[in-house]
A and B are shown apart, each in its own frame.
Chain A
């Protein structure tokens, strides 16, 4: 079974500090990491390979520095990796990103499954996986929480929806996007790290893949970001101490009043 995992490198925002004055995020000096939600897709791919044989290939579109994320996936056990990188790819929206990834994947040969994370923690759209499915004209099973059955030519998954789980059976090749429930990601190993350092990672660019130059990067993107604002997220709410019998009682009464005023009860 050949599995391709899509991996995006994102800024590490989990230890991010907030500017107390403006209530906005301080973005300077952030490290880059593998999109945390991609770890679940990587883990699911590795488990499928362990159970059914085959190969897992990680692919990332980004600047040369995204090599670091690819090497980290190899340290976790991914067999091969490919970087999709070219100045012309910069500033791509999800339309152009999924187009470019699709063209690169066409160069890479046969596969059964493409796995993606649910969302990337920066752009946060969740559109690249389904978009790629459309470019390659493949079925997409999104929000996959459990893999129930795998045969030589199909996969059956639980797809998490608002009301419950939809059980979907799809033939290979298929695009799957995963949620956290699917698997607990493993840590990189020393052996994996060593192999990752020693492996040559190929780069796909406009030099060695077939692309329509008008469909690339910022220029090829139908959506344009016109403005970015950093909203103040702090709210100046009432804060009551409740550390004795009376103060607890009074805090609860005031809360109920407050809820009533807002017609929340």
Chain B
């Protein structure tokens, strides 16, 4: 079967948004190759409604491996299951999200099924002459774009940057097959065990998958002023990000950090305040769609990559912006 597979993801039984983003990519490729796109899900207690949504958003078929031992992500068991299915069904393309799941399980699977893997792609196309998958990805902190192909191995595998594509709208008229697959005991690897899951603070953020990020840096001057970015983030239904300077000063916890040694984000709107725009910070924001910068230094690097910049004092601009947005809402 020369199908295109997308590896959906679930957290605590709910499908994650990337599952649908991948389907949008997969469907386009499948159409060009005149084949089907299938969504593979590993987990437990996923509702029929969720599985149905995969069909409505592009899947021709859904394979759901349902078992309590797959409820939490465990790399080795997940890899065994995915490798086993690949060896059984021989898809031509396997896409996963470049998340903390996809970026581990896919390289593991690639070795097990003896093929290549392209990381963190932002563009995927079929090369007309060869029908091969052209996989384009940012490297060296987003300063170059490399196009990669896997000419002699199957499947062709790639991880795809979250938020780099939009899910398709729900189409209730679509129909497709949902196949439940039983987990084979011999695929369960019990060496590494997941003991628990926790978030350390109430403010734990998933900045990689947020639509709107409001980020603050050293220009905030002290911890108390983080409130300025928090208030604005709240108005914009966004989450708070930060430069490393703000993290290393202890103003915010590490999961908020954007950049080379933090997270890469692809927000629809990124608003940064009091951040100079160092090369390491920029490495994390290159694929954001709209960038707004507020900085009192007209020469700040950040303005070179912004779509809208305000040269001004963040202590004046942020509160006014928050206030006006609140008024506009009423």
Residues of A within 8 A of B (CB): 13-16, 18, 24-25, 36-37, 93-95, 98-99, 121-131, 133-135, 139-143, 145, 156, 159-171, 174, 177, 179-181, 221-231, 233-235, 237-243, 247-249, 251-253, 255-256, 258-259, 262, 264-265
Contact = CB atoms under 8 A, between A and B. Distances in A.
Given A264-B268, A264-B290, 17 more contacts: A25-B144, A95-B111, A95-B115, A124-B141, A142-B103, A164-B197, A166-B73, A166-B194, A171-B192, A234-B304, A237-B307, A238-B307, A239-B306, A239-B311, A242-B310, A252-B324, A264-B269
A30 to B, nearest CB: 10
Contacts of A14: 279-280
Contacts of B104: 130, 140, 142-143, 177
B147 A265 contact: no
Contacts of B116: 93, 95, 221-223
B153 interface: yes
A135 B269 CA distance: 41
Contacts of A224: 148-151
Contact of A127 (B100, B107, B313, B321): B107
Given A180-B261, A237-B303, A251-B317, A163 B199 contact: yes
Contacts of A177: 104
Contacts of A18: 304
Contacts of A125: 107, 117, 119-120
Contact of A255 (B118, B292, B316): B292
Interface stretch (B41-49, B174-182, B201-209, B216-224): B201-209
Contacts of A37: 260-261
Interface string B312-330: 1100110011001100100
B191 A170 contact: yes
A97 B260 CA distance: 22
A100 B3 CA distance: 32
Contact of B100 (A143, A156, A225, A251): A143
26 contacts: A94-B107, A124-B138, A124-B141, A131-B110, A134-B107, A139-B191, A142-B75, A159-B100, A161-B73, A162-B99, A165-B199, A165-B200, A169-B192, A174-B192, A222-B110, A222-B153, A225-B147, A226-B134, A233-B304, A238-B308, A242-B313, A251-B317, A255-B310, A256-B321, A259-B292, A265-B328
Contacts of B107: 94, 98, 125-131, 134
A122 B312 contact: no
B281 to A, nearest CB: 11
Interface string B64-97: 0000000011011001000000000000000000
B266 interface: no
Given A139-B75, A142-B103, A181-B254, A163 B328 contact: no
B199 A162 contact: no
A166 B72 contact: yes
A143 B304 CA distance: 32
Nearest to A126: B103
Interface centre among B119, B134, B194 (most CB of A within 10 A): B119
Given A131-B111, A169-B195, A265-B325, A239 B120 contact: no
B243 to A, nearest CB: 13
Interface string B277-321: 001101000100011100000100001111111111100110011
A259 B269 contact: yes
Nearest to A230: B144
Given A14-B280, A167-B197, A252-B320, A180 B257 contact: yes
A186 to B, nearest CB: 16
Given A130-B107, A162-B208, A171 B191 contact: yes
Contacts of A228: 144-147
Contacts of B236: 264-265
B112 interface: yes
Given A223-B116, A237-B306, A252 B317 contact: yes
Nearest to A241: B311
Contact of A170 (B100, B151, B193, B311): B193
B148 A225 contact: yes
B12 to A, nearest CB: 8
Nearest to A253: B324
A118 B309 CA distance: 33
A148 to B, nearest CB: 9
Nearest to B101: A161
A249 B319 CA distance: 11
Contacts of A233: 142-143, 282, 286, 304-305
B197 A127 contact: no
A185 B268 CA distance: 34
Contacts of A225: 146-148
A168 B142 contact: no
A63 to B, nearest CB: 18
A25 B260 contact: no
A140 B114 CA distance: 18
A160 B116 CA distance: 26
A29 to B, nearest CB: 15
B100 A248 contact: no
B229 to A, nearest CB: 15
A223 to B, nearest CB: 4
A50 to B, nearest CB: 23
B288 to A, nearest CB: 10
B100 A160 contact: yes
